[in-house]
Homo-oligomer: A and B are copies of this chain.
Amino acid sequence: MVSRFRGQDILSSEQFDLSALDEIFSVVDRCVPIANGSLKTDVLSGAVLGSLFFEASTRTRLSFDAAFMRLGGSVSATTGVTFSSIVKGESIKDTGRVVGGYFDICVFRHAHEAALEEFANASEVPVINAGNGAGEHPTQALLDIYTIHKEFGKRKKRIEGSCIVLAGDLRYGRTVHSLAKLLSLYGAAEIRLVSPRGLRLPEVIEEKLRDSGHKVSIFSSLEEGLLSSDLVYMTRVQKERIPLAERADHECESFVLDRKLADKVMKKDCVIMHPLPRDSSAGAHDLSDDMDDDDRIAIFRQSDAGVPVRMALFACVLGVEDELEKSSVSPKWTKVRSRL
């Protein structure tokens, strides 16, 4: 059966409904042994990805690179705002048509939200959105919701009936917006929105959560919001996104989640997620690193999921999702790590 994503752009998390998520998750599961080096495949050999990052995002770019390469494909990349043609007055439309002509698929990131659609409309090959300004970051949303499934699965829990906390900068945090949209596909959970005043979730997204049947409540105290919760999706306050004039308003007593707080208020089998990077500098209001070795901390399993999730999207768009198993073999090399 041909994937619904074959030949499609992946531009917005709104393209995913529950059955789409099911389809993708099953492909992700099959990508995991290739992503971690237990198997290798050449299913995309001959294919070339254009990795076009007009805004810096090293982590996301490396993750896309690894995903495409692990499927056997090659990656040609450009980074930064120095695309020389655009400096010379070229339209995004021309860039999309010309550069798209070199590749079989493109990953595109741009600081201006509208650039994505212009690029994708002009490109003759499928385009995957790697973040368009304040807009969408659909692959991050996918890896987040995939991780929730996996973590809840291990704990015999479901989104329905659970208590999920979205915490931190809910106003400017693009990843939390996209995740909230995907959570709206489900229902019957308790969703708590915990943020400093001034950094609340946009009303339209809050409404969407309510309309889908979730019980939504608002907190400004992290401790109160986390009480007896099953999962927290913590985000850092991205100071650079906040207008200078507003910053004084956003002060809050404490927005630090550490082991002491988690032990005190959250369930024993709770899950702590974070889109990363987290701010580990002194005085930051963010997730502490004092419980990184604890199984409740899912943040690195979450970031590890980025590679197989992106592999799954590449596989579906390029029509090889059913070739993964039969094209996979053991590599000659061994991925081990021995400490001296």
Contacts and interface: CB of A to CB of B under 8 A. Distances in A.
B104 A62 contact: no
Interface stretch (A43-51, A154-162, A182-190): A43-51
Given A37-B46, A76-B62, A7 B337 contact: yes
A292 B241 CA distance: 38
Contacts of A86: 277
Contacts of A69: 48, 74, 76
Contacts of A202: none
B337 A289 contact: no
A75 B57 CA distance: 17
A84 B59 contact: yes
A84 B289 CA distance: 20
The prevalent SS among residues of A at the interface is: loop
A280 B91 contact: yes
Interface in A303-317: 303-304, 306-307
A90 interface: yes
A99 B82 CA distance: 25
A14 to B, nearest CB: 11
Interface in A56-83: 56-59, 61-63, 65-66, 69-70, 72, 74-76, 78, 82-83
Interface stretch (A168-176, A250-258, A327-335): A327-335
Interface string A277-295: 1111100101001000000
Given A88-B277, A97-B300, A102-B63, A126 B337 contact: yes
A323 interface: yes
Contacts of A323: 332
Contacts of A48: 65-66, 69-70
5 contacts: A48-B70, A98-B277, A101-B300, A318-B334, A323-B332
Interface of A: 6-9, 15, 34, 37, 39-48, 50, 56-59, 61-63, 65-66, 69-70, 72, 74-76, 78, 82-86, 88-91, 93-95, 97-99, 101-104, 123-126, 236, 238, 276-281, 284, 286, 289, 300, 303-304, 306-307, 318-320, 323, 327, 331-338, 340
